[in-house]
Amino acid sequence: MSALSTVLALLAFAANSLLCRVALAPPAIDPWSFAGLRLGSGALVLALLVRQRARVGSSSPGRAAVWRRAGWLLLYALPFSLAYVALDAGTGALLLFGSVQLTMLGLGILRGERPRPIEWLAIAGAAAGVVYLVLPGVTAPDPLGAALMVAAGVGWGLYSLAGRHAGEPVAATAAAFSRAALVALPCAAIAFGLSRSAITARGALLALLSGAVTSGLGYVVWYAALRSLTATRAALVQLAVPPLAVLGGVLFLGERLTTRLLIASVVILSSIALGVLARRVRAPTSSGIGPRVRP
């Protein structure tokens, strides 16, 4: 079940990237409104789901912890939308996933995880595959856009790590989304009023779909998967998202299938498989670090 949850979450992340790409380039909606509608629709769907399951407040570890998760979610969602106005897809992907990797691996090590050499090899191989995949589209980044995307990567890494001990996934995700929406929606309304930009029906629909399905429900599945993932493995498997997103562009947006995509996908996915399967070999228990999580 954990493997299925992980795969479904990664597919949701890739779909979310496609929806954002279509909505913001060329713009069918401004980035503030996209982020606000995304978080608001996610909060609404999750609130209805929590109410139906009669689990309101059943898994929250405390108000401060919930607001922290909401803060990490905001730190990801708002800069992510704003950054893609100034960055191309390749540069944005490198900055985002590089920041996610450094955040999750660094904090995992600080908390006592010790990736084995084969896991470091897998991370290096998958990261090299991502670089090879997006390199043709990488340009010198806009400084503000780059800073925003790095912040988004840090926010997503912290949100993911917080989910490992957040409790029941539906209620935990709903609590974070509802609080994040309380901040994002007023900010979006103010930005929309100041900019006087137009929101097309297509742009609003893409934002709502992104929030309700690929973000809200997708993050529930991700929080469920995180229960059986170490920080190292959670960081590693997310490197599958860029090739999945590019493949989705080929299948659904009419983008061209290239040899580079095929080679990069093989390198990335085989490296991830190497790192995940490495955990199936029982590690020595004499390190004193504590029990390792089984896949």
Mean pLDDT of the chain: 86
Give the pLDDT of residue 54: 59
Mean predicted confidence (pLDDT) in 90-116: 89
What would the pLDDT profile of 118-171 be if each residue is shown by its tens digit? 999 999 999 999 889 888 777 778 899 999 999 999 999 999 999 888 888 999
Beta bridge partners of 27: 24
CA distance 290 to 45: 38
Q: Cα-flanking dihedrals φ and ψ of residue 94, to 5°?
A: -60, -45
Q: Cα-flanking dihedrals φ and ψ of residue 56, to 5°?
A: -60, 120
pTM over 0.75? The answer is yes
CB 19 within 8 Å of CB 209: yes
CB atoms within 10 A of CB 193: 9
CB 30 within 8 Å of CB 189: no
Quickly state the pLDDT bin for 279 (edges 50, 70, 90): low
CA distance 31 to 44: 20
CB 235 within 8 Å of CB 108: yes
**143: cis peptide before it, omega within 30°?**
no
CA distance 293 to 291: 7
What SS3 class is residue 52?
helix
Structure tokens at 125: 């191989």
